Copies of this chain bind each other. A is one copy, B any other.
Amino acid sequence: MSYTRKHLATVEGYVPGEQPAEGGFIKLNTNENPYPPSPRVFEAIQQVTPERMRKYPDPLYRRLSAKIAQVYGVKQEQVFIGNGSDEVLSLLVRTFVDPDEKVVYTYPSYVLYETLARLNAVGCEAVELDENFDLPKRAFSAGGKLLFVGNPNNPTGRGIPADTMGRLCRSFPGLVATDEAYADFSNSSCVSLLRDCQNLMILRTFSKSFSLASIRVGFALAREELVADLMRMKDSYNVNLLSQLAAEAALSDLEHMRANVLKIVRTRTLLISGLAALGFVVYPSESNFVLAKYPNGSARPLYEELKRRKILVRYFPLRRLEDCLRITVGTDGEVDALLKELRDILKK
């Protein structure tokens, strides 16, 4: 007998990019940072005492939220922290969207937005991006309770200027959650809009620019009332001690993060020109990955052959993306290796 909730019978869970148990892969499939996190992270972790390990962490993560508030120029009460952005996204749906309301998201975008709506049995609607993967006019007349907008968007790499985001916030009747997971690789951010846009929530993560995908810390910046609602809904101790310490240490060394971002942005240029030279159509990217369109049909065989050669990239068997690969910007060496294998594959 099944005990599962009725609506789940037809919903599939989110399938993350492969995380192979065995080593030896060049991993360009889940947008991890190829460079190590700040040494201060390791110092912080290694100084943890048995006395702190045996106790619960601060359920209000006061030191970390104070640090985030300081770095991003908001009040501490405007900071909500989760067990990765994934948890923040899930809590947004569970806190703000009733079953008779809907989640709206652009397409193509991070698949999890739709998955979360379906898992939580609320309505959902996609707003189709235009032929360049930019926001279409009709995004500004969309209705709904919660709008997810990646900025820069994943997997397209496209950014949205802050003034466009401001217009979107003014036109949308519900909450606008802009996922800035990749904003450090871009030139724009909407943090400055928080003062004027009461319905704006900005999502950030330590998984990309800070090289800390392992620790699962993401956060939202929003006005105090919205943060208070999320605090009531979250598990009491949703961010563990070591992750709080690691994130705080990473924020105390922004130079380290920025230097890594600079290197990645430089390598991104090499990757884009290399792919273009091989005949791919490469979309402009403001993130640590590029979306490359293979002009000769499905990109699946390329993905599979690269995997056989121990290079993982991301292939999405989804409408408008079947002929594309999403490739994380690795080190120069990793990008060289990728281009070399691709050249060899395409020759045959």
A235 touches B86 (CB 8 A): yes
Q: Is the CB of A215 within 8 A of B242?
A: yes
List chain B residues, Cβ under 8 A from A96.
3-5
Chain A interface residue count, Cβ-Cβ cutoff 8 angstroms: 80
Residue of B whose beta carbon sits closest to that of A83: B83
Asked if B199 and A3 sit within 8 Å, CB to CB, the answer is yes
Identical subunits present: 2
Verify if A2 is at the interface (C-beta below 8 Å from B): yes
Decide if A27 is an interface residue (CB 8 Å cutoff): yes
Residues of B within 8 A of A99 (CB): 99
Contact B6 A145 (CB under 8 A): no
Interface string of A52-74 (1 = CB under 8 A from B): 11111111001000000000000
**Contacting residues, chain B, for A287 (C-beta < 8 A):** none
Are B214's CB and A240's CB within 8 A? yes
Query: B56 to A32, Cβ gap below 8 A?
Result: yes
Please tell me which one of the listed residues B27, B35, B119, B233 contacts residue A8 in the complex, with CB atoms under 8 A apart.
B233
Please tell me if the beta carbons of B27 and A53 are within 8 angstroms of each other in the complex: no
If the complex has contacts A231-B13, A233-B119, A240-B83, are A215 and B53 also in contact, measured as CB distance less than 8 A?
yes
The answer for the CA separation of A7 and B6 in the assembled complex, in Å, is 21
Is B54 a contact partner of A8 (Cβ separation < 8 A)?
A: no
Interfacial chain B residues near A225, Cβ < 8 Å: 2
Contact assessment for B36 and A51 in the assembled complex, using a CB-CB cutoff below 8 Å? yes
How far apart are the CA atoms of A225 and B50 in the complex, in Å?
38
Known: A3-B145, A96-B3. A235 touches B54 (CB 8 A): no
State A37–B242 Cα separation when bound (angstroms): 15
Of chain B, the residue at the smallest CB distance from A211 is B54
A344, B303: Cα distance in complex, Å:
74
- A window 181-200: CB within 8 A of B: 198-199
Q: Nearest CB to that of A35 among chain B residues?
A: B54
Interface flags, A19-62, vs B, CB<8A=1, else 0: 10100000100101111110001100110101111111111001
Whether A95 pairs with B8 at a CB distance below 8 angstroms is: yes
Q: Which of A30, A45, A55 has the most CB of B within 10 A?
A: A55
Residue of B nearest to A199 (CB): B3
**Is residue A126 contacting chain B, with contact meaning CB distance below 8 A?**
no
Beta-carbon contact of B45 and A90 below 8 Å: no
Checking B52, B98, B235, B246 against A6 with a beta-carbon cut-off of 8 angstroms, the contacting residue is: B98
A216, B237: Cβ atoms closer than 8 Å: yes
Of A2, A13, A174, most buried by chain B (CB within 10 Å of CB) is A13
Q: Knowing that A2-B225, A213-B237 are A-B contacts, what are 6 other residue pairs whose CB atoms are under 8 Å apart, sorted by A's residue number?
A: A3-B199, A3-B226, A6-B98, A21-B58, A42-B53, A84-B237
Binding site for B on A (CB under 8 A): 1-8, 11-14, 16, 19, 21, 27, 30, 32-37, 41-42, 45-46, 48, 50-59, 62, 83-84, 86-87, 90, 94-99, 119-120, 145, 174-175, 198-199, 207, 211-216, 225-226, 229, 231-233, 235-243, 246
